[in-house]
Amino acid sequence: MHYFSRLILLPALLLATALPASAAPPTAGETASTGVDLASVVDTALQRHPAYQTLAAADDEANALDRRARSLVSDQPSLSLHLQDDRLASDTGFREWEAGVDMPLWRPGQRRAARDLGDSARDEAVLRHRTLSLQVAGEVREAAWTLAIARNRARLAEQELATARELEGQVQTLLERGDVPRTDLLMAREETLQREAAFHAAHTEAHHALVAWQALTGMADLPDRLAETRATGELQASPLLAEAQALAARALAEQALVREQAGGAPVLTVGGRSEDDGFGQTRDSLGVGLSIPLGLKSHRGPAEAAAARQLAAAQAERDRQHRQLSLAVAEAEEAITMSTQTLAIARARHELAAENLSLARKAYTLGETGLSDLLRVQTRAFTAERDAVLRELERDRAIARYNQALGVAP
C-alpha cells in the first residue's frame, strides 16, 4: 500500500465515516412548525373519535331524567273510556258513558330520589367528556411518540447510509490507486447494501406510523412540541377515578329510586259519568278516585335486589379502576427511572464509541488495521449513537405515559 496516498485521503475518509450525530439529527420536538400544540391535536382527535357521539347521548339522558323529576306525575298518565248499555239484554235504551284520567303520583321521597338520579346522570355526562378526552389523549400521545421515534430511526438510517456510500466511494478511489485490495471494496459495498436495507425498513416503519397518526388526528404532521413536563398531583384527581365514582353514585341513586318505586305508585283518577236510563232521564256526575298499592315485599324484592347488584358491580369497578391506575402510575414512575438511567449509560457509550471510532479511522488510514476492523468499530458507533438518540426519546415518552397514568391531559 502507498502510505502517502492513503494519508492524502485522510480528511475525506474521516468525513465519510463521521457519526450520524455529527449532523445533529432533528428530534421529535424539532419538526417543521405546524402552529398547533398537543392539546389542540387532542381536541381535534376527540371530535373525530367514534365514541364522541356518545357524549351528546349522555347529555340527552341527563336532560330526560331531569325533566321526569320535574314532572307533576311519577309515570305516564293514562286515559280510560267505558261504555255500558242494555242493547243485548233488556234493550230499554239504557246507556252509560264513563271517562277518566289516571295519574300516578309521587310517593314521599320518590321525587327527591328521581332528582338525585338526574343530578348523578349529569355529573356522569360531564365526567364522561373528560375521561373520553383523556382516553383520546393517550391514543394521541402513543401515536405521536411512535411516529417521532420512527422518524428519528429513519433519519439516523439515512445518515448511516450516506456515510456508508461515501466510505465506499473513498475505498473505490483507494482501490483504483492500488492502495487497498479488492476485498476492501467488497466489504464496503456489503456495508452499503446493509445500510440501504435498514434505510428502507426504517422509512417503511415511519410511513406506517404517519398513516396511523393521520387516521387518528387528521393532521399531516406532529405538533411543534411533544416533550412534556412531568406532572405533579394526586391520583385521586384522575378523571377516570372521578367517573368511576360517579358511576357508583349513579348506581346508588338508581337503587334509592327503585326502592321508592318498587312498592308501586298511588294513582289519582279524575273522571266523569253520563247515564241515560232510556226513559228520558239523564244524569251526569264527576268522580275522584285514589288507588294505593300495598307494595308486598315478595313483589318488590327482585327489583331491589337487581339494583343492589348493579350498585355492588359499580363499586367493585370503582375499586378495580383505582387499583389498576395505582399500578399504572407505579410502573410509569419506574419506567422514567429506568429510562433516565439507560439514557445516561447510552450517552457514556456514545462518547466512548466516538473516541474509539476516531482512533480506528486513523489506524486504517495509516494502514495499521484493515477495513473490516474499521467497519466493526463503525457499526458499534452507529449502534451507540442510535441508542443515545432513541433513549432520550423513550425517556420523554415515559414522562408522557406517566402523565397519562396520573390522569393529566396535555
Band the pLDDT of 241: cuts 50, 70, 90: very high
Give residue-wise pLDDT tens across range 323-340. 999 999 999 999 999 999
Helix or strand or coil: residue 134?
helix
Distances (CA, A) of 240 to 124, 216, 220, 330: 11, 22, 30, 16
pLDDT of residue 145: 96
Helix or strand or coil: residue 291?
strand
Give residue-wise pLDDT tens across range 56-82. 999 998 999 999 999 888 888 999 888
| Distance of alpha carbon 213 from the chain centroid | 13
Whole-number Å distance between alpha carbons of 358 and 348: 16
**Domain tally, the chain:** 1
Asked if residue 230 lies in contact with residue 336, where contact means CB atoms within 8 angstroms, the answer is yes
Helix or strand or coil: residue 66?
helix
Cell 321525587 identifies what position? 111
- 254: domain CATH number? 1.20.1600.10
Task: Phi first, then psi: give them for residue 242, nearest 5 degrees.
Answer: -65, -40
CA nearest to 34, candidates 301, 176, 219: 219
Give residue-wise pLDDT tens across range 41-52. 999 999 999 999
Task: Phi first, then psi: give them for residue 267, nearest 5 degrees.
Answer: -120, 125
Give residue-wise pLDDT tens across range 115-164. 999 999 999 999 999 999 999 999 999 999 999 999 999 999 998 899 88
Helix or strand or coil: residue 233?
coil
Cell 449513537 identifies what position? 385
Domain of residue 11 covers 3-406
User: What's the longest Cα–Cα distance across the chain?
Assistant: 141
Dihedral, CA of residue 304, residue 309, residue 314 and residue 315, to nearest 10: 100
**What is the mean pLDDT of the segment spanning 177-197?**
90
Whole-number Å distance between alpha carbons of 80 and 279: 27
Helix or strand or coil: residue 269?
strand
